[in-house]
Chain A
Amino acid sequence: GEDVEQSLFLSVREGDSSVINCTYTDSSSTYLYWYKQEPGAGLQLLTYIFSNMDMKQDQRLTVLLNKKDKHLSLRIADTQTGDSAIYFCAETASAGKSTFGDGTTLTVKP
Chain B
Amino acid sequence: EAGVAQSPRYKIIEKRQSVAFWCNPISGHATLYWYQRILGQGPKLLIQFQNNGVVDDSQLPKDRFSAERLKGVDSTLKIQPAKLEDSAVYLCASSPSDGSYGYTFGSGTRLTVV
Contact = CB atoms under 8 A, between A and B. Distances in A.
Interface of A: 4, 30-31, 33, 35, 41-45, 48, 88, 90, 92, 95-103
B56 A103 contact: no
A100 B40 CA distance: 12
13 contacts: A30-B100, A41-B107, A42-B106, A42-B108, A92-B99, A95-B56, A96-B48, A96-B55, A97-B33, A97-B45, A100-B35, A100-B44, A102-B40
Contact of A97 (B4, B56, B102): B56
* Interface size bracket, B side: 20 to 34
Nearest to B3: A42
Question: Chain A interface mostly helix, strand, loop or mixed?
Answer: strand
A20 B35 CA distance: 23
B42 interface: yes
